[in-house]
Structure formats: structure tokens, C-alpha cells
């Protein structure tokens, strides 16, 4: 083998060896970010589960926990897509203490605010579009859905959340009949759809 071929082979091997550590570093960094995100979502789910266990199927907690389960599924999808192993729930079996639903809501507010801040940190340095999309979506859900629902609950003294749906009622209207004369008719009224800050 001549000197030129040897030099080319060495260059190729050096290039390959440089790529492998870089890929390993990228994978390690992604694993660390995903682990932090997943454990935070596990913690939120377990917290809301504890609230429901103590107080029953009460809104907005019952709605938010379903959102947390979707967040976990989204993160687990990233682990699968990148061939990574997801950690077990480090918070499983933890005990949560709250004296009332209002207290639980206040704690949840603080946790959701911290969750939104966590994703700011996790997004720093990420270039993969799929990871960015998932992180941003989960951050958005925390800021725009969970936080407003909890704030609404606290502001209303834990009594109720605004409704979401169509209201129907009876209405009277005047109709013109064919020929001479006016007729009266009853009709059904369909109310406007109201926005619920607890519908997550």
C-alpha cells in the first residue's frame, strides 16, 4: 500500500473516530434533558393523582392529570424514536401533603410555573426540531392551559370553574305566515359556546 493510500485511510479513520464521540455526547445530552423533563412530568402526575385520591374527581385537577399523562406519552415517544431508555418514575410512592383543595391548587400553581421555567432551560442548546417541538408544546400547555385553570380555581375560591359548552333554551319569535295576518311561533334558542379555563 503506497503512502498516499495510507494517509487517506488514516484520515478516514480519524474522521470516523471524531464522529462517534460527538454522537455519543449528543445522545448523552439528549438523554439527560429527556430524563429531567420526564421526571418533572411524573412528579406532576403523581401530585395530581394524590389530590384526586384524597378529594375525588374534582376539576381542574382531574382534567390536568390527563394532560400530564399526555405529556409523559409525548416524552416517551422521543425516547423510543431515538433509541433511548426511559427511567422509571422516581416519585412513585411519594407522599404529598395538602390541607385543602385551595392549598393543593397553590402548590400546583408553583409547580406549573417551575415546569414552564424548566423547559426554558431544557430548550437551551437543542437543535433537533422534533425535540424542540415536543418541549415547546409541553411548555405551552403548562403556561396556557394548566396555569390559567389553576389561577381561575384559586380566584374563585375553589368553588367552581367557568363552563364550556352549548346552552339551550326556549325562545319566542314572530313569524310571517303566507297570506294575510301575522302568526306567533316558539323556537329553540342555542346559546353561544363558552370558554372554560378548566377544560384542558
All structural domains of the chain with their residue ranges: 27-155
- Per-residue pLDDT reduced to its tens digit, 185-194: 444 444 443 4
What is the mean pLDDT of the segment spanning 9-35?
57
What is the mean pLDDT of the segment spanning 170-196?
46
Number of residues assigned to the chain: 200
Q: How far apart are CA 39 and CA 134, in angstroms?
A: 15
Position 199 scores a pLDDT of 42
164 or 104, greater pLDDT: 104
What is the mean pLDDT of the segment spanning 77-102?
90
**Distance from the first to the final alpha carbon of the chain:** 68
Residue 71 pLDDT grade (very low, low, confident, very high; cuts 50, 70, 90)? very high
Q: At what angle do helices 61-81 and 147-155 cross, to 10 degrees?
A: 170
165: phi then psi, degrees, rounded to nearest 5: 160, 180
Position 98 scores a pLDDT of 87
| CATH code that applies to domain 27-155 | 1.20.1260.10
Considering only 44-48, 82-86, 90-94, 128-132, which range has the smallest mean pLDDT? Answer: 90-94
3-class SS letters over the chain: CCHHHHHHHHHHHHHHHHHHHHHHHHHHHHHHHHHHHHHHHHHHHHHHHHHHHHHCCCCCHHHHHHHHHHHHHHHHHHHHHCCCCCCCCCCCCCCCCCCCHHHHHHHHHHHHHHHHHHHHHHHCCCCCHHHHHHHHHHHHHHHHHHHHHHHHHHHCCCCCCCCCCCCEEEEEEEEECCCCCEEEEEEEEECCCCCCCCCC
Torsion sign over Cα 38, 108, 117, 198: positive
Position 1 scores a pLDDT of 54
Q: How far apart are CA 133 and CA 151, in angstroms?
A: 26
Averaged confidence pLDDT in the chain: 74
Q: How far apart are CA 91 and CA 45, in angstroms?
A: 10
- In 3D space, the residue among 87, 80, 82, 90 whose CA is nearest the CA of residue 30 turns out to be 82
- Per-residue pLDDT reduced to its tens digit, 25-70: 478 889 999 999 999 999 999 999 999 999 988 888 988 999 999 9
Amino acid at each position: 500500500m503506497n503512502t498516499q493510500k495510507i494517509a487517506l485511510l488514516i484520515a478516514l479513520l480519524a474522521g470516523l473516530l471524531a464522529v462517534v464521540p460527538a454522537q455519543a455526547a449528543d445522545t448523552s445530552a439528549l438523554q439527560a434533558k429527556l430524563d429531567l423533563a420526564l421526571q418533572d412530568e411524573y412528579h406532576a402526575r403523581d401530585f395530581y393523582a394524590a389530590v384526586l385520591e384524597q378529594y375525588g374527581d374534582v376539576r381542574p385537577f382531574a382534567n390536568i392529570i390527563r394532560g400530564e399523562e399526555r405529556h409523559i406519552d409525548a416524552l416517551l415517544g422521543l425516547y423510543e424514536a431515538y433509541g433511548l431508555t426511559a427511567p422509571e418514575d422516581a416519585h412513585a410512592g411519594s407522599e404529598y401533603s395538602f390541607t385543602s383543595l385551595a392549598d393543593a391548587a397553590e402548590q400546583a400553581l408553583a409547580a406549573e410555573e417551575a415546569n414552564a421555567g424548566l423547559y426554558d432551560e431544557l430548550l437551551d442548546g437543542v437543535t433537533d426540531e422534533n425535540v424542540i417541538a415536543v418541549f415547546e408544546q409541553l411548555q405551552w400547555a403548562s403556561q396556557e392551559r394548566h396555569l390559567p385553570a389553576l389561577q381561575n380555581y384559586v380566584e374563585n375560591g375553589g368553588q367552581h370553574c367557568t363552563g364550556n359548552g352549548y346552552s339551550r333554551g326556549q325562545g319566542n319569535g314572530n313569524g310571517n305566515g303566507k297570506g294575510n295576518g301575522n302568526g306567533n311561533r316558539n323556537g329553540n334558542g342555542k346559546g353561544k359556546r363558552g370558554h372554560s379555563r378548566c377544560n384542558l
